[in-house]
Amino acid sequence: MAEEKSFKYVIVGAGVSASYAAKEFVNQGLKHGELAIISHEPRTDLTKAYVDFQTNTNLAKNYVCGTGEQIQCLQWYKDKGIELILSTKIVKADLAGKSLVTSDGEIFKFQTLLVATGSTCVRLSEFGVQDANAKNIFYLRDNKDVDQLALTMETTKKRTVVVIGGGYIGFEISASLTVNNYNVTMIFPEPWIMHRLFTAEIATFYEGYYADKGIKIIKSTKATGYNTNSNGEVTEVKLDDGRILEAEIVIVDIGGRPMTSLFKGQLEEEKGGIKTDGFFKTSISDVYAIGDVATFPMKLYGEMRRVEHATHACKSAEHAVKAIKAAEEGKSIQEYDYLPFFYCRAFDLSWQFYGDNVGETVLFGDNDPKSEKPKFGTYWVKSGKVVGAFLEGGVVEENKAIARVARTQPSVGSLEVLSNVGELLIGSRVNRNRVLVSCLV
């Protein structure tokens, strides 16, 4: 007979959301034996810190979640009485019956379930790319893949890397590789880097800066196949314009999709994710979805959205747990009110973005990639209001100021006025919030 275990709370997935949910459960008075975390991964929390070559040239393994207050190592879970069940695949979910079945036939019963399965990568083979499963092609979306990349880099002298994709992962890892003396070429089909977030003007700066660092960027181009050696290792990347690039390592970043297949037909979905309310409760009572898989009401914009970002993964997890515990006590909390946020540190650059990147834009500051200390930003304006703000090279108070602008959405008379405000923001030593409010409202 298959073994059966019962828990008050079960989290499926062991990434950022699961780690922060576990922390919040502990903060809310979790008792030993109440919570289990189940994941097919061999350990918890794969984040971009795992592949931060600039600070971790040997790719030392990051097993845990750092919450800022304490490090959630394996011993932490044990000490808190949380059962961490790793390398275990759930193959069937009976949400009405409140049970999960593993590939080994084990049954886990739950009272409340949190779905924190995250996203999986889109693979080149899905687009008919030839030899897309050759050795030394990495996607960086699971621990096994990153482990293999680490082993390849630590045990060989391979230095020529082709990064396919101009999104977040491609943007950051290209910089990290270059810092560690790898020869990097980026290729992507979009007309400029970070196309989903950056404007063409913002992208021009980073493309120029990256080029000055030795990174070759090939835009509006796709990979169509690979050449391999006798060991099945990639040696070249074929492009759709006929060019062939030397490549000893290929890193692919062409997007991800939420892992919801386990719950198909049981949970209502929207916009590719599991539909939730403002507390991350799904269409089935006592089942919650957090992080990448959740499509939730974006209160600030009055519409349903799905967000893939570590900040949202943390905050959504904490909010869901607070909602669960409040409901148990007959209390209520406010609905989730998230301000979209993205950030990056690459080379000696550092940018932050808040809000929505829609509408007209205005660029301000010095965005010359050859400047000694470039500092510039962009505002997005829709229906006469500032809805988004981006700043490169900002200090803490300046970044807080643009976050407040994106949150409060002040009215603006003209883009020229907005440009002047931007110049004041990065040039004034007075209170940044006061400058922005007085000029915009």
Q: Is residue 341 part of a domain?
A: no
At 71, give phi and psi (nearest 5°): -95, 125
pLDDT over threshold 90, residue 58: no
pLDDT tens by residue, 397-421 = 999 999 999 999 999 887 887 887 7
If asked whether residues 108 and 30 sit together in one domain, one would say yes
Question: Does residue 334 form part of some domain?
Answer: no
Q: Is residue 337 part of a domain?
A: no
**What is the residue range of 275's domain?**
4-120+257-328
- CA separation for the pair 76, 188 (Å, rounded): 41
- Same domain, yes or no, for 101 and 139? no
- Asked if 136 and 214 sit in the same domain, the reply is yes
Among the listed ranges 52-66, 78-92, 136-150, 332-346, which one has the minimum average pLDDT value?
52-66
Same domain, 291 and 374: no
CB 269 within 8 A of CB 295: yes
Identify whether 54 is part of a domain.
yes
Is 79 found in the same domain as 171? no
- For residues 405 and 283, membership in a common domain is answered with no
Give the pLDDT score at 1.
Answer: 56
pLDDT in tens, 208-265: 999 999 999 999 999 999 999 999 999 999 999 999 999 999 999 888 889 999 999 9
Domain final residue, candidates 235, 254, 273: 254
State whether 394 and 246 are in the same domain.
Answer: no
Q: Are residues 133 and 98 in the same domain?
A: no
Question: Does one domain contain both 323 and 282?
Answer: yes
Burial (CB count within 10 angstroms: exposed 0-12, middle 13-18, buried 19+), residue 54: middle
Q: What is the CATH number of the domain that holds 137?
A: 3.50.50.60
Domain count, the chain: 3
For residue 34, pLDDT over 60 is answered with yes
- Show the tokens assigned to 284: 């089935």
242/154: higher pLDDT: 242
Same-domain check for residues 177 and 97: no
How far apart are alpha carbons 250 and 188 in whole angstroms? 13
CB atoms within 10 A of CB 99: 17
Query: Residue 2: its pLDDT value, please?
Result: 66
Q: Indicate whether 247 and 135 sit together in one domain.
A: yes
Q: Is the pLDDT of residue 432 over 70?
A: no
Bridge partners (DSSP) listed for residue 238: 225, 244
Encoded tokens for 394: 């900002």
pLDDT at 387 over 70: yes
Scan for tokens 């910089």, then name that residue.
175
359: in domain: yes
What is the gyration radius of the CA atoms in the chain, in angstroms? 23
Same domain, 240 and 389: no
CA distances in angstroms from 101 to 13, 90, 246, listed in the order given = 14, 6, 46
Residue 51 has pLDDT above 50, yes or no: no
Residue 333 lies in a domain: no
Distance, in Å, from the CA atom of 218 to the CA atom of 244, rounded to the nearest integer, reads 12
Domain boundary among 254, 285, 310: 254
Residue 386 sits in a domain whose CATH number is 3.30.390.30
Checking if the pLDDT of 273 tops 70, the result is: yes
Largest CA distance in the chain: 73
